[in-house]
Amino acid sequence: MSTEKKRPIIIMKKKGGHGGHHGGAWKVAYADFVTAMMALFIVLWLLNSSKQIQEAVGGYFKDPTGTAKKVGSNMVGAGENFVLNRDNMPKLKEQLQEAVKQMADFEKLQSHIEMTVTTEGLRIELSESASGTFFDSGKAKLNADGSELLVTLAQELGKLPNKLSIEGHTDSKPYAASANYGNWELSSDRANAARRLLQSNGIRPDQVTQIRGFADQRLRKPDAPLDPANRRISLIVQYILKSDDDDATPDEKPEGKPDGIPAVKPAPSGFPRRRSNSPS
């Protein structure tokens, strides 16, 4: 028997456990899933947004450096990136008509609401009936239907940068000769009552530029001066006219005019200049 010591036999046993490192491939798949879900929610939001928002978002992706500057504005909030001009004013008309249709009493009011695109802008006329559709008869107080309609319009028009004019009209039925109150006062008071309600429900304080009271001087039905349809309130959404000088940089603007003094533009073709015989 050999005197040399035998080396001990070492037996190594592996314990069961987790496998080796799997890498980060799952993180990439999870990120793709989250991105797809976010894109889905954005698409669903756009489908339920107004046409103005859809056009603004679509215009940005088509031309991020150009369309956003022309279509957008410095206002904050949904639906406010829409400047009305002669081309897209009919779109506002459609949008307002859809909003008004959601009113509970629309069927009763629809024959008394008329929207027309004119040379001045979008004219919204609210005409009265014999019993008083929007105002109490002979008074400047809005009734429930008139208040609901103006609140609906204020929430839509308040999103726009465009200015508004408000007109009041009456029929030719006179007040008593001894009264200190007449159609002139009534038409102006009704226009102001509409302004106050509009401004308390979404119209900005600086958005209304004119309050006009015409009494019975602009009848809707001249052949029937006592017709109730002559009694009406008109809201005019004015166009925004953008001149070429507004887009010019300070170096490109015409020289020779101090700041604050507007340039004198030539008269449009077809309109002769007015000559004055008085000394300048």
| Reported confidence tier of residue 15, pLDDT bands at 50, 70, 90 | low
- pLDDT, mean of residues 82-111: 80
Tell me, what's the pLDDT at 227?
92
- pLDDT, mean of residues 21-48: 84
- Give tens-digit pLDDT for 146-169: 998 999 999 989 988 899 999 999
Q: Are residues 112 and 200 in the same domain?
A: yes
Instruction: Give the mean pLDDT of the chain.
Output: 77
Tell me, what's the pLDDT at 3?
53
74 assigned to some structural domain: yes
Return the DSSP state at 124: E
Tell me, what's the pLDDT at 106?
80
**Residue 113 in tokens:** 């609401």
113-117, strands of its sheet edge to edge: 113-117, 121-127, 232-238, 164-169, 208-213
Percent of the chain residues topping a pLDDT of 90: 34
**Boundary residue ending a domain (46, 63, 82):** 82
Q: Which domain holds residue 57?
A: 29-82
Q: What is the pTM of this model?
A: 0.57
- Please report which residue ranges of the chain form alpha helices under DSSP H: 25-47, 51-62, 67-71, 89-101, 106-109, 144-157, 183-199, 244-247
Residue 206: CATH number of its domain = 3.30.1330.60
Q: Is the pLDDT of residue 187 over 90?
A: yes
**Boundary residue ending a domain (37, 59, 82):** 82
Q: Are residues 120 and 94 in the same domain?
A: yes
Tell me, what's the pLDDT at 38?
92
Q: Is the pLDDT of residue 44 over 90?
A: no
Our count of domains for the chain comes to 2
Tell me, what's the pLDDT at 4?
59
Q: Are residues 104 and 58 in the same domain?
A: no
251 assigned to some structural domain: no
- Give tens-digit pLDDT for 212-269: 999 999 999 999 999 989 999 999 999 887 654 444 444 444 444 444 444 444 444 4
Q: Are residues 74 and 161 in the same domain?
A: no
CA distance 278 to 59: 53
Query: Which residues on adjacent β-strands are paired with residue 126?
Result: 113, 233
Q: Are residues 73 and 99 in the same domain?
A: no
151 vs 63, more confident: 151
253: number of Cβ within 10 Å: 12
Q: Are residues 127 and 217 in the same domain?
A: yes
Tell me, what's the pLDDT at 254?
44
